[in-house]
Amino acid sequence: MENIQNRALKVFPAGTSNGEYGLTEERIVVIEKGVGCHLWDTRGKEFLDFSMAWGSCLVGHAQPEVVEAVASQAPNGSNFAYLNSHVLALAEEIQRISPAAERIRFCASGTEATMYCLRLARALTNRPKILKFEGAYHGANETGVTSLFPQQAPDYPRPELTSAGTPAVSDYLLVAPYNNLAEARRIIFENKTELAGVIVEPLQRCTPPKPGFLEGIRETCTEAGVLLIFDEVVTGFRLAYGGAQEYYGVIPDLIAYGKALGGGYPIGAFGGRVDIMEWTNEHRIGTDDYVWMASTLGGNPISTTAANAALTVFRQPGTYENLHRLGAYLRDGMSKVLALRQINGQIIGDGPLAQVIFSADPVFDYRSTKKGDSVKARALMLALFDRGIFLNPMSTKLYISIAHDEAVCDGMLDRFDDALEEIA
Ligand SMILES: Cc1ncc(COP(=O)(O)O)c(C=O)c1O
């Protein structure tokens, strides 16, 4: 059989089917099976998974309730592109626990969910501009990928393109530093006649908000008459069952979900106040008050039955206490290893998230994160990969799931220590 690296490289740029791994060629593997927090490749090598499909498998791979739900729906059809009992129940549950989501619509990814939120903000305010925070990712749409990894540190609020092919974004995107309320307020008020919305990852990548930051942004948006959008694609159902809204106690005007909600199946959802979401009401087509929204796979019964099963699992008592306890266990363990080895570094994150930064300076925004030694961080990620830790060496955020436990984290900590020895 032809070697899999060659096959993958002949058909995929960088040998990757869906982007963003940046693994070296000789490390390319083909994953055959995932159960809980374990993966196996086609050569039988086992990995401890600390990516969990970029966080979308918070419930664990092949989680039995999710598998059963999908298996029972599959013979009855996979998509009707229309209302079905699973999507209805799921929407009711989201509405019950998400104060921002008075009305909801479904799509197939987080990228689409944030895109619709941005479009609605522009429609409702009749203004063109959006403010994002530097270093935030909101999906592969133009807003999401701009000022994502800026190299030049342009003056705020000027954006820097991260992707070629997106030049028009410079006309409508403003950028502010995360966790700097004064600067964000200044930019919002200076631009308020043109500004439709502010989009924020409540916990940006792996950097928690400073006390008062999200509350201050909420207050500023209300004062300026600008809509606040929470991108809860990562934080939703992860920091708490009610996501960042519950965890931080701040309610946006519009909200985007994805990832963990789908129990490992493709999903996106967005919601907002009734008056905002009414703009997507098709009875308005032909008027100036209509926002186009349509998704062939949105709300399909396979993804939504998986989501309902995942949410049932998440609602079991102790889920979030365990996720937070285990996240703290991992971060503390990694911090101790760094300290014992007298390495200049720190572990950031909250809940079931962790990231290594090779800098001892406080980390609170993109530019402070960037002070970390990124060459060393990549070397560490690759050394961990070689030791059977599955992760994305480009985005150094580690995800744990409800399938992880202390023994798995201990396995990670041993390999972390060993990997640091190798890269020293
Ligand atoms: C915060 C955030 N928003 C949006 C997205 C996009 O989600 P998707 O990849 O499902 O389009 C991601 C994906 O990583 C994300 O981390």
Ligand 1 pocket test, pick from 20, 206, 234 with the greatest ligand atom count within 8 Å of Cβ, gives 234
Predicted local confidence at residue 282, as pLDDT: 97
Kindly state if the Cβ of 392 falls inside 6 Å of ligand 1.
no
State the closest ligand 1 atom to the C-alpha of 201, by its place in the atom list counted from 1: 1
Name the residue among 251, 228, 176, 235 with its Cα closest to residue 202. 235
Are 357 and 369 in contact by the 8 Å Cβ rule? The answer is yes
Tens digit of pLDDT per residue, the chain (424 long)?
Answer: 468 889 999 999 999 999 888 888 999 999 999 999 999 999 999 999 999 999 999 999 999 999 999 999 999 999 999 999 999 999 999 999 999 999 999 999 999 999 999 999 999 999 999 999 999 999 999 999 999 999 998 999 999 999 999 999 999 999 999 999 999 999 999 999 999 999 999 999 999 999 999 999 999 999 999 999 999 999 999 999 999 999 999 999 999 999 999 999 999 999 999 999 999 999 999 999 999 999 999 999 999 999 999 999 999 999 999 999 999 999 999 999 999 999 999 999 999 999 999 999 999 999 999 999 999 999 999 999 999 999 998 867 999 999 999 999 999 999 999 999 999 9
Are 389 and 47 in contact by the 8 Å Cβ rule? The answer is yes
Predicted local confidence at residue 21, as pLDDT: 82
State the closest ligand 1 atom to the C-alpha of 259, by its place in the atom list counted from 1: 10
Predicted local confidence at residue 396, as pLDDT: 76
Tell me what percent of the residues of the chain surpass a pLDDT of 70. 99
Q: Which fold has domain 4-62+319-423?
A: Aspartate Aminotransferase, domain 1 (3.90.1150)
Per the annotation, the verdict on 41 as an active-site residue is: no
Cα dihedral sign, 20-109-208-137: positive
Q: Inter-axis angle of helices 374-386 and 406-423, to 10 degrees? A: 120
> Domain-by-domain residue ranges, the chain?
4-62+319-423, 77-314
What gap in Å lies between CA 219 and CA 346, rounded to an integer? 32
Q: Which fold has domain 77-314?
A: Aspartate Aminotransferase; domain 2 (3.40.640)
72 C-alpha to ligand 1 centroid (Å):
28
Estimate the share of the chain in helix, then strand, then coil, as percent rounded to the nearest 5: 40, 15, 40
DSSP H helices in 126-242? 142-145, 181-190, 213-224
The predicted-structure confidence for 349-407, as pLDDT tens digits, reads as follows 999 999 999 999 999 999 999 999 999 999 999 999 999 999 998 867 999 999 999 99
**Residue in the block written with tokens 């013979």:** 75
Between the alpha carbon of residue 308 and those of residues 47, 55, 65, 170, 262, the distances in Å are: 28, 17, 10, 40, 8
